[in-house]
Chain A
């Protein structure tokens, strides 16, 4: 089945440690995105990538880093510089495969990161 996978589902880390969240898609989509969701908040864009080896900062990129070495993969690193990293992180992709609507983004199941 085509889709987006994120691992792990739950992640615990000590304060001051960097952590990398995985995102893989087999939809052959060119564009990939990382969002953060906090309670009572919408989805806020962290980084996005329109094509391999290229990515742009979103609205809240400080304290995060990404790479896009392969079309299928877009890992997000939460660094120790991120002041409040505890949140629900969502990865998404966009492309023509499976899309019912222009600009539709397909979301993964999310990773809940808790920093202790």
Chain B
């Protein structure tokens, strides 16, 4: 049973517009969430994170929103750029904080 779900396998956005990537989780004990970006045949790189005590965290063009009651988080990229085209993984920290649980990823395509 998937504990972290990214229900949209893909998303296409025009350059300059907003990209919104969504993530849902089922385990209410998760208390830390991270977003990773991954290019083909490379390792994921960390983008941004949020603690469960916050509802928003911003870093440049990237903002993550957390809705604990809905067990939902989203990553906003504004403005989107062609270099943002990649697979984005949502990850949650387990109760012991020792490992990350990943979603299946969303492939973002930004066209110029």
Contact = CB atoms under 8 A, between A and B. Distances in A.
Interface of A: 4, 31, 33, 35, 40-45, 48, 50, 58, 88, 90, 92, 100-110, 112
Residue of A102, A108, A109, A112 with highest tally of chain B CB at under 10 A: A102
Interface residues of B, number: 25
Interface of B: 4, 6, 9, 32, 34, 36, 41-46, 48-49, 51, 89, 93, 97-100, 102-105
B98 A107 contact: no
A42 to B, nearest CB: 4
A101 B43 contact: no
A60 B84 CA distance: 31
A4 B14 CA distance: 34
Nearest to A41: B104
B49 A43 contact: no
A109 B45 CA distance: 10
Given A40-B104, A42-B103, A103-B32, A90 B46 contact: no
Contact of A42 (B32, B51, B98, B105): B105
Q: Which 7 A-B pairs have the closest CB atoms?
A: A107-B43, A42-B102, A101-B49, A43-B102, A42-B104, A103-B93, A104-B46
9 contacts: A31-B98, A40-B9, A42-B103, A101-B46, A102-B49, A104-B34, A105-B46, A107-B45, A110-B43
